[in-house]
Amino acid sequence: MYRVRVRGVPPVVLALRRFPNPRLTGIGAGLFAALTMFVLACVDRLLFDSSELVYGLLFLPVSALTALWVRPADLVTAPISVPIAFAVGVFPISGGSEGLGGQIMGLVTALAVHAGWLYGGTLIAGLIASVRKVRQMRARRQYVLAQERGGAPASERAPRPAAASASASAAAKPVRAGAGGAGGAGAAARRPQRP
């Protein structure tokens, strides 16, 4: 007798399946990342005295979640919205001086100093989005190949249009001699052929 070995699902996969899995639009993913980074920067300013290390470490998982939660049609927006979210979030911890000019200089300085975290988060979002896109393209290619081979389930096959089935059934009906009226088979036979 043969023994059937049933492979169990690893506990890590089960734990990851319990997490929420939303599908955000491109704008929604950008808003999620920007608002999350702004709130985390405010918490960083209150609790950790505007620590750049804490902000940078918090930026990496937000970048990953943004790339994971964006819907497949908007995957290209994840690596674009993540740097914008970093810039929005770094504003509370930039430490600029009084006035608008001082705040802008502090923001530009903070972006230049923390460019490593910015590039790291953008790279993570870009890699995750690229892997998801490749998997989506591979699944689509397998689906098309299955359709071409006729291996798709009957529920996924496209039904025949009603007009095509009606014309096929009309063509299969026998025509009696002399039954064709003005638009029947007799009229088609009497029509002169063009050279």
**How many alpha carbons lie under 13 Å from residue 134 in its C-beta half-sphere?**
6
Across 47-73, average pLDDT: 87
Read off φ and ψ for residue 4, nearest 5 degrees: -95, 120
For residue 19, name the pLDDT band (cuts at 50, 70, 90): low
Over the stretch 140-180, which tens digit does the pLDDT of each residue have? 898 888 888 875 454 454 555 554 444 444 555 555 555 54
18 three-state secondary structure? coil
Residues recorded for the chain:
195
In DSSP notation, 24-71 reads B-HHHHHHHHHHHHHHHHHHHHHHSSS-HHHHHHHHHHHHHHHHHHB-
Question: Cα(45)–Cα(40) distance, rounded to whole angstroms?
Answer: 9
Q: Write down the pTM of the prediction.
A: 0.61
Query: Sorting pLDDT into bands at 50, 70 and 90, what band is 106?
Result: confident
Q: What is the mean pLDDT of the chain?
A: 76
